[in-house]
C-alpha cells in the first residue's frame, strides 16, 4: 500500500512531497510529521526505504505508508487535550505524532498484539524523547502501550475522543469499534477495503465518510483454544498529572514565552528571519528497458525522447542552482535549542535542570 508520492531523500523531503500531493493539508499535521523522523522507526538495515511512500514489514514490526498516516492524521481532526486510542499501535510512530498535538493534558493509549513490538515501540519512544531535535518545541502527551488483542478490551474501559485501528475491520466488529467512542468522537479505520471516518453525533447516531481505498491485513481474531478463557485487555488508567509534572509544564511554558518575547524584540517588528530551506533538485524520470537476447538478459537505462530535448535545459537548471548556492556554500548552522540553553543557564541545581529537560541527551 502506498507509492502515491515520490520518494524523498530525508524526512523533510518526504513531507514536502506529501504536501504537494495534498495528503498533508493542515499546518498542525505538517508540524507533527516534520518533528518525528520516520527513519528512526526503521531497523538500521532497512533505512534506505524509510522515505519512500511504501508500507514496511519485518517480522511483527509494521509501518503503513506515509500517505495513509497522512490521511489518518487529517481525518482524526486532532486538538490539544483530547483522548486517543491507537488499536494496533505497532512501532508507536503514529502515536508519537499524535502526542505532539494532544499536548500535556491529553490521553494517548495504544494496544499492540505482539509483545516484541510493544517493547520496540517503548524503545523508540525513549529514543525520540531523549534525542529528537524537535521535542522541546512541543509539550508532549507521552503514549502508553499495552500488549493484547484489541478485540478483547475490557468493557469497563473509558471511551475516547479519537480512535484509530491499524488493521482491517470486519463488518461484524464495526459496532464494537463504535462503542469505544465518546459522543462527538471520531473513529478512523479500514472497513471493507475503504479507509473510513465515523463520527459519533449522538448516543445512537453516526456519520460515515469513505476516505480512500486501502488494503490492510485483517484484525486477528482472539484465540481461546489454550485456556478457553478470554484475556481481557486493561487499558492504562486516566490519571491526573502530578504536581511535579504540572510544575514542569508551567515552567517550560513560561521559559518559552520569555524566549519568544526576546526573539520579537531582537527582530524589531517581531517577524522571524525567513528560514533557509535546502534546494531540491528536480529529477527526470527515465525508463528502464530490459532486452532478452539468446536467453540472456540485458538491462539498459534510456532517456525518454522528451527528456533528451530538455537535457540541455536540465543542465542549465542544475548549473544555475549550483551558481546560486555557491555564494552561500556554508551550510546553515544547526538549529539552536533555545529552551535548553535557557534552562541550563538558570541558577538551579543540575538535577532540576535535567528534570526540566526530560533528562534529554541533546
Active site positions, annotated: 64
Q: How far apart are CA 196 and CA 218, in angstroms?
A: 15
Q: How far apart are CA 319 and CA 49, in angstroms?
A: 29
Q: Is 90 helix (H, G, I), strand (E, B) or coil?
A: coil
Helix 93-102 crosses helix 27-35 at what angle (to 10 degrees)?
A: 130
Q: Is 289 helix (H, G, I), strand (E, B) or coil?
A: strand
Residue listed under C-alpha cell 476516505: 211
Q: Are 356 and 248 contacting, i.e. CB atoms less than 8 angstroms apart?
A: yes
Q: What is the largest CA-CA distance in the chain?
A: 79
Q: How far apart are CA 66 and CA 23, in angstroms?
A: 9
Q: How far apart are CA 317 and CA 284, in angstroms?
A: 12
β-strand pairing of 194-202 with 61-63:
unpaired
Spatial CA neighbour of 137 closest among 328, 293, 340? 340
**R_g of the chain computed on alpha carbons:** 24
- Describe the strand order of the beta sheet including 83-87 as a list of residue ranges: 144-147, 107-112, 83-87, 160-165, 181-191, 194-202, 205-213
Residue listed under C-alpha cell 486538538: 79
Q: Are 164 and 150 contacting, i.e. CB atoms less than 8 angstroms apart?
A: no
Which residues have C-beta within 8 Å of that of residue 192, sequence separation ≥ 6? 171
Q: How far apart are CA 110 and CA 233, in angstroms?
A: 11
Amino acid at each position: 500500500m502506498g507509492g502515491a508520492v515520490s520518494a524523498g531523500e530525508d524526512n523533510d523531503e518526504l513531507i514536502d512531497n506529501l504536501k504537494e500531493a495534498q495528503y498533508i493539508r493542515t499546518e498542525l499535521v505538517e508540524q507533527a510529521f516534520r518533528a518525528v523522523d520516520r527513519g528512526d522507526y526503521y531497523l538500521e538495515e532497512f533505512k534506505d526505504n524509510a522515505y519512500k511512500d511504501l508500507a514496511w514489514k519485518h517480522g511483527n514490526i509494521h509501518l503503513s505508508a506515509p500517505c495513509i498516516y497522512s490521511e489518518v492524521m487529517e481525518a482524526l481532526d486532532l486538538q490539544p487535550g483530547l483522548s486517543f486510542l491507537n488499536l494496533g499501535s505497532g512501532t508507536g510512530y503514529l502515536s508519537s505524532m499524535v502526542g505532539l498535538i494532544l499536548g500535556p493534558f491529553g490521553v494517548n493509549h495504544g494496544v499492540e498484539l505482539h509483545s516484541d513490538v510493544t517493547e520496540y515501540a517503548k524503545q523508540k519512544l525513549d529514543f525520540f524523547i531523549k534525542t529528537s531535535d524537535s521535542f522541546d518545541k512541543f509539550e508532549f502527551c507521552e503514549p502508553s502501550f499495552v500488549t493484547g488483542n484489541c478485540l478483547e478490551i475490557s468493557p469497563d474501559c473509558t471511551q475516547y475522543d479519537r480512535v484509530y485501528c491499524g488493521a482491517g475491520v470486519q463488518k461484524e466488529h464495526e459496532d464494537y469499534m463504535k462503542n469505544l467512542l465518546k459522543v462527538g468522537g471520531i473513529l478512523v479505520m479500514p472497513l471493507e477495503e475503504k479507509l473510513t471516518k465515523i463520527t459519533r453525533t449522538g448516543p445512537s447516531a453516526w456519520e460515515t465518510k469513505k476516505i480512500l481505498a486501502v488494503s490492510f491485513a485483517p484484525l486477528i481474531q482472539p484465540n481461546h483454544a489454550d485456556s478457553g478463557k478470554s484475556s481481557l485487555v486493561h487499558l492504562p488508567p486516566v490519571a491526573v498529572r502530578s504536581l511535579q509534572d504540572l510544575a514542569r509544564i508551567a515552567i517550560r511554558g513560561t521559559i518559552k514565552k520569555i524566549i519568544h518575547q526576546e526573539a520579537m524584540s531582537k527582530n524589531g517588528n517581531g517577524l522571524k528571519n525567513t528560514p533557509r530551506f535546502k534546494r531540491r533538485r528536480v529529477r527526470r524520470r527515465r525508463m528502464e528497458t530490459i532486452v532478452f537476447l539468446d536467453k540472456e538478459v540485458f538491462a539498459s537505462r534510456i532517456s525518454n525522447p522528451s527528456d533528451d530535448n530538455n537535457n540541455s535545459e536540465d543542465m542549465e537548471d542544475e548549473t544555475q542552482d549550483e551558481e546560486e548556492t555557491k555564494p552561500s556554500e556554508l551550510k546553515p548552522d544547526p538549529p539552536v535549542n533555545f529552551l535548553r540553553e535557557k534552562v541550563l543557564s538558570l541558577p538551579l541545581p543540575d538535577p532540576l535542570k535535567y528534570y526540566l529537560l526530560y533528562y534529554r541527551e541533546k
